[in-house]
Each structure stands twice: as C-alpha cells, then as structure tokens.
Amino acid sequence: MTEIRKRRSRDPVATREAILEAARALLAKDGPEGISLSEVAALAGVNRGTAYQHFETRENLIAATAEWVSDRMFRDVFGDPETIGERRVEQVDVADTTDRVANFAMDNPELCRIWLLQLLASPDPMADPFWREYEGSLQRFADSDLAEDGVDAEVLSVLMLAGAFLWPIWARSHARSEEERRPLARRLAQECLRLSLYGSMRAERFPQIAERLRDERPEKAPAKAASSS
C-alpha cells in the first residue's frame, strides 16, 4: 500500500483518477448521502490529505463524478463526442437512443441520480455535454416537420430524463441482476416511446386541451437562463 501511494503521488493524473474511481464505486453503492472523502481516500489507496489536495470538499468530488457520468453517458448513448458533430434529425434512431438511455439508467441508478441533481442545481445546464446534446437533439426535432407544433424541447428534455433516471430508483435496480434489469429498462423505454409517439389521451376527446396546446407556444428563452439572470 505504501508503494502504491508513493507511486500515485508522483503522478497527479493517476492519483486523481484513482480517487474518482473510488468515489464512483462508493456513490454507486451508497449514494451521495453515504460518502466521505476519508472513505474515498481509503478505497483509493491514498491518504486523506492527498484526497483533499485534489478535491477540497465532498461537494467538489461529487461534482467531478457527475462530469464523468456525463461523459460516460454521452459515449454510451450518442457515441464519441469528438466525432459525432451535429446530427441531422432524420439520422437519429429514436428507439435505439431511448433504449440506450434506459439501459444506462438501469445499470447506473445512483450515478444517474447524482448527475441529475447536479444538473438541476447548475446555473448553466448547457455547459454539460450530455444535456447539451440531448436537449439540442430534441430542439432540432421540435424545429423540424417531424414534430407537432409548439413542442417545448427544454421541458420535454427534463421530463424524459427525470423519468428515466428516477424509474431505476423506484424499481430498485441496484438490487437486481443483469437479467432482471433488462426487462425493466425495456418497460421504461416502451413508455417513453409511447408518450412521445401518442401521448396518453385521445386528442379528439379533449378538444379544449388541444386548443390550448395550439394557442399557447413555449417561450424560446430557456427557463434556466431566465432564472439565473
């Protein structure tokens, strides 16, 4: 253990990654409420002072973990961020993307919850790569002739991701096997697709709501930007 600590102390990048890896393991197991820098340092094989040099507070460590989750989600759902570029709406496989989000959420419930909470608290959500691509994709969809008139991409993005990342907590996916998680992810994906394609009401039976949706258009100014100004 002493040799490992000495080796890591000469390589700050490797030390930081070891600390983050330990944090991810503990967060996935116990959630943000049950983590401390001391525990993370012990699992990473570094002393507590070294951990504090890299992450001055527990909150900074959780924020850094959320950044890692964002990058991992981006790669699992959309592909390599260095090469993906801006995809055309017609090129997006909606069902496949929905399945990928659902599977990632079921396999990483606590990490996704941490990411979501960090995003909701962020004064600039567009700084997060995964959110920027997800909301941007829905906005491009809303601006195309594939969408109904008046779709609010920002609200829809929050609703879809909140549902996707809270369902695994409700379904206790952390306590289930891989074989059990796959059908749960499929259930989630199916309902997300159903809501997107049909909604839950027969439009002809609710003409007053259909009229409201036609007459009221979402404001283009993002709610987050407005609240932080």
Task: Please compute the mean of the pLDDT values over residues 113-142 and round it to a whole number.
Answer: 91
- Residue 2 in this model has a pLDDT that exceeds 50: no
**Residue 222 near residue 154, CB atoms below 8 Å:** yes
Joined tokens for residue 103: 């599977």
**pLDDT classification of 168: cutoffs 50, 70, 90:** very high
**pLDDT classification of 8: cutoffs 50, 70, 90:** very low
| Comparison of pLDDT for 3 and 126, the residue scoring more | 126
Which residue has 């527990």 as its token pair?
Answer: 58
| Comparison of pLDDT for 111 and 218, the residue scoring more | 111
**pLDDT classification of 201: cutoffs 50, 70, 90:** confident
Give the number of other Cβ atoms within 10 Å of residue 50's Cβ: 19
- Residue 3 in this model has a pLDDT that exceeds 60: no
Nearest C-alpha neighbor of 153 from the set 89, 210, 106? 89
Q: What is the pTM of this model?
A: 0.79
Q: Does domain 59-228 have CATH number 2.60.40?
A: no
Task: Please compute the mean of the pLDDT values over residues 168-185 and round it to a whole number.
Answer: 92
Distances in Å between the Cα of 221 and the Cα atoms of 139, 144, 203, 226, 228 are: 13, 19, 28, 7, 12
Q: What is the pLDDT of residues 83-120, one digit of tens each?
A: 776 667 777 788 899 999 999 999 999 889 889 988 99
Give the number of other Cβ atoms within 10 Å of residue 169's Cβ: 15
Domain extents for the chain?
1-56, 59-228
**pLDDT classification of 185: cutoffs 50, 70, 90:** very high
**What percentage of the chain reaches a pLDDT higher than 70?**
88
Q: What is the pLDDT of residues 32-55, one digit of tens each?
A: 777 888 899 999 999 888 888 898
Q: Give the CATH number of domain 1-56.
A: 1.10.10.60
- Residue 127 in this model has a pLDDT that exceeds 90: yes
- Residue 11 in this model has a pLDDT that exceeds 50: yes
